[in-house]
A = this chain, B = another copy of it.
Amino acid sequence: MTLLLFAIFLAACFAAGSTGALFAPGDWYRDLRKPTWTPPGWMFSVVWTVLYLLMSWAAARVAVSEGGGLALALWALQIALNTLWTPVFFGLHRARVGMVIIILLWVSVAATSVAFYLVDSLAGVLMVPYIAWVSVAACLNYSILRLNPELSAANPAP
């Protein structure tokens, strides 16, 4: 049962992660001014693969526990926001809307982590790398907005 649950949560992560291939960064992202600490491109797919495995494992543990309803509701919210960010940022090049989404994502991941911890402490711990990475991604989104003021135009050219 836990394995089936893990597979279903991982399928949801696959839907979210497929946006990385469908909405590839491309020339637009390459030509943006980025902070010196920007992680190299290859690192994103490696890190996300690990994070998706960890968050699916955590969710499967919570789903077999009692009283995980609130925690799983929050997990559903964060995976929807996770799916949304990449098409908005890399597809539409709307970095300001992306910033709003990633702040909401950060809050929802933090809430999910706390709710997971209260149901199953290991599940909560498994979410820590995710919240750390979303913090980095949010800082990167913010820095890109600051370094590329043309992105703050109402409708940046695609």
A→B interface (CB under 8 Å): 1, 4-5, 8-9, 11-13, 15-16, 18-19, 22-23, 59-60, 62-66, 68-70, 72-77, 79-84, 87-88, 91-92, 94, 97, 101, 104, 108
Hey, which chain B residues are within 8 Å of A87, CB to CB?
Answer: 19, 22-23, 87-88, 91
A1-B70, A12-B73 given; name 15 further pairs at CB < 8 Å. A8-B73, A12-B80, A16-B80, A22-B87, A22-B97, A23-B87, A62-B69, A64-B69, A72-B72, A72-B73, A72-B76, A76-B76, A79-B79, A83-B84, A87-B88
Hey, which chain B residues are within 8 Å of A59, CB to CB?
Answer: 73, 76
Hey, which chain B residues are within 8 Å of A92, CB to CB?
Answer: 22-23, 91
Q: Which of B22, B74, B77 contacts A88 (CB 8 A)?
A: B22
Hey, which chain B residues are within 8 Å of A12, CB to CB?
Answer: 73, 76-77, 79-81
Q: Which 6 A-B pairs have the closest CB atoms?
A: A63-B69, A87-B87, A76-B76, A15-B80, A83-B83, A72-B72
Hey, which chain B residues are within 8 Å of A79, CB to CB?
Answer: 12, 76, 79-80
| Contact status A4-B70, CB under 8 Å | yes
Looking at A8, A62, A80, which has the most chain B CB atoms within 10 Å of its CB? A80
Q: Which of B18, B76, B97 contacts A75 (CB 8 A)?
A: B76
Instruction: Provide the bound-state CA to CA distance between A119 and B94, in Å.
Output: 41
Instruction: Provide the bound-state CA to CA distance between A65 and B66, in Å.
Output: 10
